[in-house]
């Protein structure tokens, strides 16, 4: 096969960030890029900043918090910024920086300050900043495989936020530790900010699919990154598909949806240098597939006989969303959390479930914790009996600061008020505020239905960690003050209560999303939270096709379906690929309850 060098590899910068909506192929393309550069003789470090990274699956290696070699790719090292390990190392560094005369009580206070969820985020950010500020030039290129857009924007905004915060505040303490002892971090943050803002050093590869929502998020990300000073941007459209037979309804619909989305591309993206990567017949797992991803190879197999699995699978009938809604509606209240890897369709599933429950006479609050929420765009209209909201980090932070100042301010003098307000302006306050808003919504499910569309997996796990930290803190505090076992109910206890909370895991019929969902299920089980059901979204197997490329991909889909049905999920429901995207009330109602009304009574 011949290789045509993509635009983003003609003059690669030292630091390259691959970002975009969940599920668009950031990990595949960033990994293929790192392999390509290493194969050309460069020293390359591939870094994952995603708490739910699947680099280990793609490369068949064990990831760690320290750079490690990739067998079969001389010159390529891989590093995973694991939030828990980073937080532990960060706590040790902060304690070690404290003066020798520091008392045990003072150290204990700092440890308590560093025990929250925001410390986990800042610790990851500290590791990230050290890579940008590294002057050793051990690597020619550092490739960042980032978490989905909303969380990535948060990460890339932190150098500016913390640089400004520390410059104006050298007293007090936060989740970074005592401010007066942080001048080393301040210098590092300033260096990281300078590297991010230098277009000769740093570029951002905006990854998208030929889909309206993915392109819209790429446009929003582009504008926000411009405001942060990251101006060197490129657009990569991944998974471009061309049908081989215009009479194949499913294949033609996939192609037409892609072309329509590209025709509606936001103006801000039209000015960027653009590359297109064709849809491949196999998952991008393993070195051969990853190397082939950037090669100028035929997108479709030359010959592909349609196997039995290419026909619509009749065994999947009765496993639709209407059946799931019917099960959930056997209760009259409860929390339904929709979770999964980015890009699998969580928002669509959450909206369809909410509408289905409303149709059965229930009052429903549909909300999202996703920084890149699309609920309003997905629904397209208001519905009686349905409350729609979003946990907006900025709004929640402002409300939280106002609440704390109102509660503590009256007892403080002017200087103490100023010091408290400065401390509350730290970026870590946002994590605390979001958790408090999340806890409030969880409690609402005592009397009605709450359907929660969560952020992509990694960020959701951080929220779960916050619930666990709060749980332990509350129980310890109660027992210290009362001397008796705690009788309070914490958010984590509600999440663990199967009669109160039902977790719906959403995945796609592909190897990587299924592995991600399985890993998330194990993480939840370690927290004593048992998923209720899985939803496999956009199943071509359930829709039926004869297109050679899609038929080739169906073999993999059939394998994933078998894996899920034979042990991974206690219950599974399937959404077929739809020739019309499920956006707007009518399409979502067809998913959630119209089939019930028409014949499942």
Give the CATH number, domain containing residue 223.
3.40.50.300
Give the predicted TM-score (pTM) of the model.
0.66
End-of-domain residue from the set 235, 258, 293: 293
The boundaries of the domain holding residue 157 are 7-83+131-293
Q: Is residue 110 part of a domain?
A: no
Strands of the 273-278 sheet, one edge to the other = 68-69, 76-80, 44-48, 141-145, 15-19, 202-208, 233-240, 273-278
**What is the pLDDT confidence band of residue 1, given thresholds at 50, 70 and 90?**
very low
Q: Are 260 and 382 in a shared domain? A: no
148 with 231, same domain: the answer is yes
Mean pLDDT calculated for residue range 547-569 = 84
pLDDT greater than 60 at residue 239: yes
3-state helix, strand, coil in the chain (%, to 5): 50, 15, 35
Q: With H, G, I as helix, E, B as strand and everything else as coil, classify residue 275.
A: strand
Chain segment 63-85, per-residue pLDDT in tens: 887 889 999 999 999 988 776 77
Same-domain check for residues 219 and 336:
no
The Cα 381–Cα 69 span in angstroms is 51
pLDDT at 512: 73
Q: Which residues pair with 365 in a beta bridge?
A: 387, 450
Q: Are strands 386-390 and 449-453 parallel, antiparallel or unpaired?
A: unpaired
Output the pLDDT for position 155: 53
- Min mean pLDDT across 241-245, 305-309, 518-522 is at 305-309
Tally of domains within the chain: 2
* CA dihedral for 140, 142, 143, 149, sign (positive or negative): negative
143 and 178 assigned to the same domain = yes
Q: Hey, how many other C-beta atoms are within 10 angstroms of the C-beta on 489?
A: 14
552 pLDDT above the threshold of 90: no
Predicted pLDDT at 136: 73
List CB contacts of 377: < 8 A, sequence separation 6 or more: 213, 216, 583
- pLDDT computed for residue 205 by the predictor: 92
How buried is 500 (Cβ within 10 angstroms: 0-12 exposed, 13-18 middle, 19+ buried)?
A: middle
% residues pLDDT > 70 (the chain): 74
* pLDDT tens profile 534-546: 999 988 878 878 8
Q: Same domain for 512 and 589?
A: yes
Pick the more confident residue, 375 or 134.
134
> Are 213 and 330 in the same domain?
no
Calculate the average pLDDT of the chain.
77
- Would residue 512 count as lying in a domain? yes
Residue 344 located in a structural domain: yes
Per-residue confidence (pLDDT) for residue 265, from 0 to 100: 94
Q: How many helices (H) and strands (E) does the chain have?
A: 24, 17
Catalytic residues: 23, 25-28, 50, 512
Query: pLDDT-based confidence at 531, cuts 50/70/90?
Result: very high
What pLDDT, on a 0 to 100 scale, did the predictor assign at position 30? 93
* Phi, psi angles (nearest 5°) of residue 535: -120, 120
Mean pLDDT for the stretch of residues 200-213: 90
Mind listing the pLDDT tens digit for each residue in 437-476? 888 888 899 999 999 888 754 454 555 555 555 445 544 5
Tokens of 276: 């297109």
Task: Answer whether residue 485 is part of any domain.
Answer: no
What is the rounded distance in angstroms from the CA atom of residue 291 to the CA atom of residue 52? 23
Average of pLDDT values for 395-407? 86
Q: Are residues 162 and 241 in the same domain?
A: yes
Residue 412 confidence (pLDDT): 85
341 and 288 inside one domain: no
Domain for residue 434, yes or no? no
Contacts of 290 (CB under 8 A, 6+ apart): 28, 31, 32, 35, 58, 59, 284
Mean pLDDT is lowest, of 97-111, 318-332, 387-401, for 97-111
Highest mean pLDDT among 183-197, 203-217, 315-329, 405-419: 203-217
Q: Are residues 164 and 55 in the same domain?
A: yes
The verdict on 180 and 251 lying in the same domain is yes
Residue 166 has pLDDT above 50, yes or no: no
**Among the listed ranges 381-390, 460-469, 526-535, 560-569, which one has the minimum average pLDDT value?**
460-469
Q: Report, as an integer, the average pLDDT of 207-216.
A: 89
Q: Measure the CA–CA gap between 138 and 388, rounded to whole angstroms.
A: 50
Q: Are residues 163 and 230 in the same domain?
A: yes
Q: Among the ranges 315-324, 406-415, 466-475, 495-504, which has the highest mean pLDDT value?
A: 495-504
Top-ranked range on mean pLDDT: pick from 247-256, 262-271, 446-455: 262-271
Residue 377's pLDDT band (cuts 50, 70, 90): low
How many whole angstroms separate alpha carbon 509 and alpha carbon 537? 7
Domain boundary among 258, 293, 328: 293
Asked if residue 275 and residue 319 are part of one domain, the reply reads no
Report d(CA 70, CA 76) in Å as an integer: 6
Among residues 233, 263, 293, which one ends one of the domains? 293
Asked, for residue 305, whether it belongs to a domain, the answer is no
Measured in degrees and rounded to the nearest 5, phi and psi for residue 339 equal -130, 160
């Amino acid at each position: 096969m011949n290789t045509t060098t993509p635009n983003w590899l003609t003059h690669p910068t030292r630091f390259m960030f691959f970002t975009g909506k969940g599920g668009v192929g950031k990990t595949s393309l960033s990994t293929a890029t790192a392999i390509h550069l290493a194969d050309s003789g460069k020293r390359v470090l591939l870094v994952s900043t995603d708490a739910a990274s699947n680099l280990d699956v793609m490369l068949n290696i064990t990831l760690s918090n320290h750079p490690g070699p990739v067998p079969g790719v001389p010159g390529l090292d891989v590093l995973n910024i694991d939030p828990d390990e980073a937080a532990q190392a960060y706590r040790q560094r902060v304690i070690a920086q404290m003066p020798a005369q520091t008392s045990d009580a003072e150290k204990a206070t700092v440890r308590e300050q560093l025990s929250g969820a925001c410390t986990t985020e800042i610790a990851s950010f500290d590791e990230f900043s050290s890579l940008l500020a590294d002057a050793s030039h051990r690597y020619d290129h550092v490739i960042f495989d980032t978490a989905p857009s909303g969380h990535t924007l948060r990460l890339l905004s932190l150098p500016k936020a913390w640089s400004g915060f520390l410059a104006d505040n050298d007293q007090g303490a936060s989740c970074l530790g005592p401010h007066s002892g942080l001048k080393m971090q301040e210098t590092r943050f300033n260096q990281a900010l300078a590297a991010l803002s230098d277009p000769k050093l740093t570029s951002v590869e905006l990854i998208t699919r030929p889909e309206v929502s993915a392109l819209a998020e790429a446009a929003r990300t582009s504008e926000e990154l411009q405001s942060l000073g990251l101006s060197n941007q490129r657009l990569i459209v991944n998974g471009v598909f061309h049908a081989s037979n215009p009479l194949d309804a499913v294949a033609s619909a996939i192609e037409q949806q892609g072309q329509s989305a590209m025709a509606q591309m936001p103006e801000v993206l039209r000015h960027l240098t653009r590359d297109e990567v064709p849809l491949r017949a196999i998952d991008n797992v393993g070195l051969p597939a990853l190397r082939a991803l950037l090669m100028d190879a035929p997108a479709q197999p030359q010959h592909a006989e349609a196997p039995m699995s290419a026909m619509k699978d009749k065994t999947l009938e009765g496993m639709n969303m209407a059946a799931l809604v019917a099960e959930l509606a056997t209760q009259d209240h409860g929390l339904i959390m929709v979770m999964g890897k980015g890009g699998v369709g969580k928002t669509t599933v959450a909206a369809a479930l909410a509408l289905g429950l409303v149709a059965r006479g229930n009052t429903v609050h549909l909300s999202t914790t996703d920084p890149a929420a699309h609920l309003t765009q997905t629904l397209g209209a208001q519905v009686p009996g349905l409350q729609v909201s979003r946990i907006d980090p900025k709004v929640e932070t402002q409300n939280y600061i106002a609440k704390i100042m109102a509660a503590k301010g009256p007892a403080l003098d002017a200087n103490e008020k100023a010091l408290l307000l400065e401390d509350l302006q730290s970026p870590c306050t946002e994590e605390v505020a979001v958790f408090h808003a999340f806890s409030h919504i969880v409690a609402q499910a005592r009397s009605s239905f709450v359907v929660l569309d969560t952020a992509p997996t990694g960020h959701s796990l951080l929220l779960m960690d916050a619930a666990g930290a709060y749980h332990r803190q509350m129980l310890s505090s109660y027992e210290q003050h009362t001397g008796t076992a705690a009788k309070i109910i914490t958010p984590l206890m509600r999440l663990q209560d199967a009669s109160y909370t039902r977790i719906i895991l959403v995945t796609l019929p592909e190897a990587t999303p299924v592995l991600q969902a399985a890993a998330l299920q194990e993480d939840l089980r370690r927290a004593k939270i048992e998923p209720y059901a899985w939803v496999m979204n956009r199943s071509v197997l359930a829709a039926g096709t004869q297109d050679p490329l899609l038929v080739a991909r169906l073999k993999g889909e059939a394998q994933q379906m078998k894996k899920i049905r034979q042990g991974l999920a206690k219950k599974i429901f399937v959404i077929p690929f739809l020739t019309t995207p499920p956006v707007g009330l009518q399409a979502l109602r067809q998913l959630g309850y119209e089939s019930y009304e028409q014949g499942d009574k």
